[in-house]
């Protein structure tokens, strides 16, 4: 049987976590190819529908990551994101998705090493949880 290779969709803010990912890349710090980055201007613009759609289309884990509290370039976008994630953590189990499959982190622009380490940890966690319920082979 082939090894389970999770798909992780990461919504990352342009100013902090995306920049950290870029820094990891330019510093040649590798991170797992399981992670698919979606760059957004701020975590505050990540609509909960995007997250649910990602799960329904096969993501095994979804990450929202942006600037540390107090550092959002749009003042309070990350606080809005934090509230939405909390709400989604309550809602997701009602549609059959474990709450631990949705993560929220703050990774600053200069944290390339932390970015790579976080992605590695997420892949380990996702492998431990097994395939998400949105995987096509499970839906059929
Ligand atoms: S600009 Fe980074 S979270 Fe708002």
Q: For residue 81, which atom of ligand 1 is closest to its CA?
A: 3
- Can you tell me the distance from the alpha carbon of 113 to that of 124, in angstroms, rounded to the nearest whole number? 17
Beta bridge partners of 35: 8
State pTM to two decimals.
Answer: 0.94
- Give the model's confidence band at 140: pLDDT under 50 very low, under 70 low, under 90 confident, else very high: very low
CA angle 25, 30, 100 (to 5 degrees): 105
pLDDT (tens digit per residue) in 123-136:
999 999 999 987 65
Angle of helix 112-129 relative to helix 17-26, nearest 10 degrees, comes to 100
CA of 90 to the centre of ligand 1 (A): 23
pLDDT (tens digit per residue) in 46-97:
999 999 999 999 999 999 999 999 999 999 999 999 999 999 999 999 999 9
Q: For residue 17, which atom of ligand 1 is closest to its CA?
A: 2
Q: With left for phi above 0 and alpha for psi between -120 and 50, is residue 62 left, alpha or beta?
A: beta
User: Domain map of the chain by residue range?
Assistant: 8-139
Beta bridge partners of 103: 63
Which segment of 5-9, 69-73, 100-104, 136-140 scores lowest on mean pLDDT?
136-140
CA of 130 to the centre of ligand 1 (A): 31
CA of 72 to the centre of ligand 1 (A): 4
Q: For residue 41, which atom of ligand 1 is closest to its CA?
A: 1
CATH dotted code for 8-139: 3.40.50
CA of 29 to the centre of ligand 1 (A): 23
């Amino acid at each position: 049987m082939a090894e389970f290779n999770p798909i992780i969709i990461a919504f990352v803010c342009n100013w902090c976590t995306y920049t950290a990912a870029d820094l990891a890349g330019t510093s040649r710090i590798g991170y797992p190819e399981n992670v698919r980055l979606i760059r957004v201007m701020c975590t505050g613009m990540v609509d909960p529908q995007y997250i649910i759609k990602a799960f329904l289309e096969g993501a095994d884990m979804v990450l929202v990551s942006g600037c540390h509290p107090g550092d959002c370039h749009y003042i309070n976008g990350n606080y809005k994101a934090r509230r939405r994630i909390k709400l989604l953590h309550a809602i997701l189990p009602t549609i059959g998705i474990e709450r631990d499959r949705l993560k929220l982190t703050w990774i600053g622009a200069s944290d390339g090493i932390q970015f790579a380490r976080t992605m590695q940890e997420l892949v380990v966690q996702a492998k431990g949880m097994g395939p998400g319920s949105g995987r096509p082979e499970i839906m059929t």
